[in-house]
Structure 1
């Protein structure tokens, strides 16, 4: 399995789960991007950002934030440029080449790796006409995870890219700070209550002999 898929297995499910938790925090409020101030605002809440890159549906392209011609201040592309340098150092063209056709790269996947590698809290996509800007947010206090969010994130991630299912499961739970138990054929996690009136939930992931997820079950403990 390639280094990029290893990184995706570690960071994509966690990024998807964090995205669901963020939606619970801000609701349906759209994000308003302020590039001059380096922040994004949701109602009365705002956070500092780093910019990963952009998509353009007319050009059918992904462009990293550090690419020539991108209109972003250098201080907002620190994480993207660090990932670029890692890509060049470790011979990962996905991170070291500025522009990619959308048939050859999945923007959310590489942006999710940037979130995890850059230790940001949340990845958010800001649509603007035929373009979209992928931004990272820091200093976000997310609500506690819910079992169904973790299950949805895991199954969505494995549908997007061919990652190691068991490792992705364990890494997702570790990101949510939920310990796991089990053997090669099963991983069990108990998710604490997400609120004062909530109840613990059990997430059970079973695997085929080939290491693929066979079933994901969520029950109230």
Structure 2
């Protein structure tokens, strides 16, 4: 895939930034609550314990990975997603088009050997371009839904 010379290092830095941002979110214990629920139309992600919401986040969708198809699909190209959660992915596509970065501007990206790393790498690029707080991927066996955290707060 076509990209400028600076892009591979930029993407690696974006992934490192994502890891640091997610570490700063550790106090919210995102992976440890007994339940999570997301509402893509409302653009929310809720974490709860014993029926009580503990943490609430506003989200956007970066994209999805598919083990069956061995690819990444950008949210802006996924007709199954509501428009309310696509703004950040559309910004990434524009950035890719303006800078000649195919993997940010084309609907699908394939990487049969490292699909999860691909998902997190492209999510890191999204977080960097859109200045998000971090990212979350709900647990899944068949692939992944990569959510961008725009805001996050303790529930009342």
Band of TM-score, shorter chain: 0.7 to 0.9
Aligned to 1:7: 10
TM-score where L is the length of structure 2: 0.79
Instruction: Let me know the Cα RMSD of the aligned residues.
Output: 2.3
Aligned to 2:89: 80
* Corresponding residue number in structure 1 for 2:37: 32
Q: How does 1:18-57 map to 2 (within 5 A)?
A: 18-26=21-29, 28-29=32-33, 30-43=35-48, 44-57=54-67
The ranges of structure 1 where at least 4 consecutive aligned residues each deviate by more than 6 angstroms after the TM superposition are: none
Q: Deviations over 1:111-139 (max 9, x none)?
A: 10110110100111123451311011122
Deviation at 1:10, TM superposition (A): 3.1
Equivalenced residues, count: 141
Aligned to 2:129: 117
Give unmatched runs, 5+ long, in structure 1: 142-221
Q: Assess if the C-alpha contact under 8 Å between 1:52 and 1:136 holds in 2.
A: yes
Answer yes or no: is the 8 Å Cα contact 1:26–1:42 preserved in 2.
no
Is the CA contact (8 Å cut-off) linking 1:54 and 1:132 kept in structure 2? Answer: yes
The answer for the alignment partner of 2:51 in structure 1 is: none
Q: TM-score, normalised by structure 1?
A: 0.58
Q: Which runs of 5+ in 2 are unaligned?
A: 49-53
Tell me which structure has the larger Cα radius of gyration: 1
1:65 to 61, 75, 93: 75
Is the 8 Å Cα contact of residues 122 and 140 (structure 1) preserved in structure 2? no
SS in 2 for 1:41: strand
Which whole-Å CA distance do the structure 2 matches of 1:81 and 1:93 have between them?
Answer: 14
Note the alpha carbon deviations across 1:9-30, whole angstroms, 9 max, x for none: 4321121122233233225115
Q: Which has the higher contact order (CA 8 A, sep 6+)?
A: 2
